[in-house]
């Protein structure tokens, strides 16, 4: 955070600081402290120095005052700080090859006029501005070098900005894919809830209707009638809320615990080395729990086929007193491929397990990868 604040402060103070340095440099150059002394009165030198600093200060919104100050400062005072600042600004701000070429052409023209001024002035001015060697050296140091530095800085800044935009776009896409995975898993859960609950409530309505017809007790008949009407209303409300999520495949019974062996056999056929281990007394599981176990095994085996197809894999199922624990663990890949963390497929899976009150963990384990889900089972009253 401190680095960002320092960068922001430097960005705000860059132009004012450069303006002060340019003004001081023009004054030192014209007085002979860092350049060729000028015979002009100090008031004129001070005016040119202040104007040069002001041109730098407003360069963020208007560039031509700095270019004009660079030409005047070089031709009148042979002051080198302003041309250097103007070249740096041209590299940073001028977009397009035509504008850069136009700036170089203007710099060549000012340099040529400066040669004529140096010949006419004679003395040190002629030595500095009209000697071929000095002309080429000064043009390289005051025009070309700052221009190249500005172009390189701008290109680096544009590249960093593009990479930052790309990273932000990829992050947004990742979040969108995760949200899509959650939405799709919730839609599947809602369809399954619709099927299971509708089936159970329908049975309740049928039995309540039969009880209403066959019972001789008036209180029982009244209670059965209430149960039947309430069940029908519940079915109507359920269809209104969740029925829109039913897809064409909603009528097909979803796979459950009995299909886990089929998944293992399919994985073996595909080349995986998979074994199954069961612990604890085997007992029937509720349909929703069985389907969740099936989904955990299927997603984990899919990830093994993707990322470690040559690793030994174990599918374990532990029957606990208050629930069931399913785990899929694979060893390290023989080829040395690094195992990645949980992907989008595990996001929806975790959502499904947590809706049942369970907990799912996934991550590296003993140089391999482990997916484990603990799902509670409510005991019938």
What is the overall mean pLDDT for the chain? 79
**Mean pLDDT calculated for residue range 158-179:** 86
161 pLDDT more than 80: yes
pLDDT at 56: 80
Domain housing 329: 257-376
Shared domain for 9 and 64, answered yes or no, is yes
Which residues of the chain form beta strands (DSSP E)?
A: 273-279, 312-319, 323-330, 359-365, 368-376
Do 190 and 239 share a domain, yes or no?
A: yes
Whether residue 210 lies inside any domain: the answer is: yes
Q: Are 369 and 354 in contact (CB under 8 A)?
A: no
Looking at the structure, tell me whether residues 8 and 124 fall in a common domain. yes
For residue 371, the model assigns a pLDDT of 92
Residues 196, 275 within the same domain = no
Q: Looking at residue 248, what is its pLDDT?
A: 47
Residue whose pair of structure tokens reads 């079915």 in the numeric block = 235
pLDDT of the residue at 342: 46
H-helix or E-strand spanning residue 169: helix 145-214
Mean pLDDT, residues 309-317: 89
> How many other C-beta atoms are found inside a 10 Å radius of the C-beta of residue 152?
12
91 has pLDDT over 80: yes
Q: Determine the Cα–Cα distance for residues 102 and 199; give it in Å rounded to an integer.
A: 80
| Residue where a domain terminates, one of 247, 269, 284 | 247
Give the phi and the psi of residue 363 in degrees, each rounded to 5.
Answer: 175, 175
Residues 362-381: pLDDT tens digits?
A: 888 888 899 999 998 865 44
For the beta sheet containing 273-279, the strands, ordered from the edge strand earlier in sequence to the opposite edge, are 273-279, 312-319, 323-330, 368-376, 359-365
Query: In which residue are the tokens 């100090």 written?
Result: 42
What is the C-alpha separation between 67 and 88, in angstroms, rounded?
11
Residue 321 domain flag: yes
Higher pLDDT, 51 or 6: 51
Q: What φ, ψ does residue 364 adopt, rounded to 5°?
A: -60, 145
197 and 280 housed in the same domain: no
Q: Are residues 65 and 101 in the same domain?
A: yes
Is 270 a domain residue? yes
- Helices 42-57 & 64-72 angle (0-180, nearest 10): 150
For the four alpha carbons of 103, 105, 111 and 114, in that order, the dihedral sign comes to: negative
Output phi, psi for 318, to 5 deg.
Answer: -110, 125
N residues, the chain: 381
**Which string of DSSP letters, residue by residue, matches 248-278?**
GGGGSPPP-GGGHHHHHHHHHHTT-EEEEEE
Least confident span in 26-30, 131-135, 150-154, 187-191: 187-191
Whether 278 is in a domain gets the answer yes
Which residue, 6, 29, 20, is CA-closest to 56? 20
d(C-alpha 288, C-alpha 194), whole Å: 12
Residues 351 and 239 grouped into a single domain: no
Instruction: Give dist(CA 324, CA 359) in Å, integer.
Output: 11
Question: Looking at the 3D structure of the chain, how many domains does it have?
Answer: 3
pLDDT at 372: 93
Asked whether the predicted pLDDT for residue 347 surpasses 50, the reply is yes
| Nearest to 323, CA basis, from 296, 293, 346 | 293
Tell whether 55 and 73 lie within a shared domain. Answer: yes
pLDDT tens, 14-32?
Answer: 777 877 888 887 888 777 7
135 in any annotated domain: no
pLDDT of residue 379: 57
* 332 and 238 belong to one structural domain: no
Q: Is residue 38 part of a domain?
A: yes
Distance of CA 133 to the CA centre of its chain: 53
Same domain flag for 263 and 363 = yes
Percent of the chain whose pLDDT exceeds 70: 86
- Asked if the model's pLDDT at residue 199 lies above 70, the reply is no
pLDDT band at 247 (very low <50, low <70, confident <90, very high): very low
Q: Which residue among 195, 222, 247 closes a domain?
A: 247
Under 8 Å between Cβ of 300 and 328:
yes
The predicted model gives 23-52 an average pLDDT of 78
Secondary structure (3-state) at 274? strand
* 234, 280: one domain: no
Q: What is the mean pLDDT of residues 41-66?
A: 81
- How far is residue 156's CA from residue 124's CA, in Å, rounded to a whole number? 40
Q: Do residues 294 and 240 share a domain?
A: no
How sure is the predictor about 8, in pLDDT bands with cuts at 50, 70 and 90?
low
CATH number of the domain to which 263 belongs: 3.30.565.10
Instruction: Please state the rounded mean pLDDT for residues 188-208.
Output: 71
Contact 309, 273 (CB under 8 A): no
Residue 245 CB coordination number (10 Å): 16
* 113 domain residue, yes or no: yes
Residue at 359 is within a domain: yes
Contact of 305 with 270, CB cutoff 8 Å: yes
324/7: higher pLDDT:
324
- Give the end of a domain, one of 130, 161, 195: 130
3-state helix, strand and coil shares in percent for the chain, rounded to the nearest 5 = 70, 10, 20
User: 161 is written with which tokens?
Assistant: 């900005």
């Amino acid at each position: 955070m401190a680095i960002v604040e320092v960068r922001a402060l430097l960005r705000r103070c860059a132009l004012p600081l450069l303006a002060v340095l340019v003004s001081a440099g023009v004054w030192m150059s014209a007085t002979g402290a860092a350049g060729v002394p000028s015979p002009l009165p100090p008031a004129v030198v001070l005016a040119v120095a202040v104007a040069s600093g002001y041109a730098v200060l407003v360069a963020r919104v208007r560039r031509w005052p700095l270019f004009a100050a660079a030409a005047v400062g070089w031709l009148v005072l042979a002051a080198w700080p302003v041309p250097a600042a103007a070249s740096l600004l041209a590299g940073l701000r001028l977009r397009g090859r035509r504008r850069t070429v136009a700036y170089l052409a203007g710099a060549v023209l000012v340099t040529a006029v400066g040669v004529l001024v140096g010949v006419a002035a004679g003395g040190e001015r002629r030595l500095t501005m009209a000697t071929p060697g000095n002309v080429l050296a000064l043009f390289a140091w005051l025009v070309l070098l700052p221009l190249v530095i500005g172009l390189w800085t701008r290109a680096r800044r544009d590249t960093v900005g593009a990479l930052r935009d790309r990273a932000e776009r990829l992050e947004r896409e990742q979040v969108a894919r995760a949200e899509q995975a959650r939405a799709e898993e919730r839609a599947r859960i809602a369809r399954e809830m619709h099927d299971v609950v509708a089936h159970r409530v329908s049975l309740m309505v049928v039995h309540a209707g039969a009880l209403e017809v066959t019972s001789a007790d008036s209180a029982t008949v009244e209670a059965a009638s209430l149960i039947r009407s309430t069940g029908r209303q519940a079915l109507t409300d359920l269809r209104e809320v969740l029925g829109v999520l039913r897809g064409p495949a909603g009528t097909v019974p979803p796979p459950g615990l009995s299909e886990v062996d089929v998944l293992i056999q399919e994985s073996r056929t595909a080349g995986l080395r998979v074994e199954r281990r069961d612990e604890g007394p085997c007992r029937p599981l509720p349909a929703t729990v069985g389907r969740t176990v099936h989904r955990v095994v299927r997603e984990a085996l899919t990830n093994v086929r993707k990322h470690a197809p040559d690793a030994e894999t174990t599918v374990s199922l532990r029957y606990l007193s208050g629930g069931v624990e399913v785990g899929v663990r694979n060893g390290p890949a023989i080829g040395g491929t690094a195992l990645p963390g949980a992907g989008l497929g595990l996001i929806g899976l975790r959502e499904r397990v947590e809706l049942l009150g369970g907990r799912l963990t996934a991550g590296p384990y003993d140089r391999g990868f482990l997916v484990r889900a603990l799902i509670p089972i409510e005991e019938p009253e």
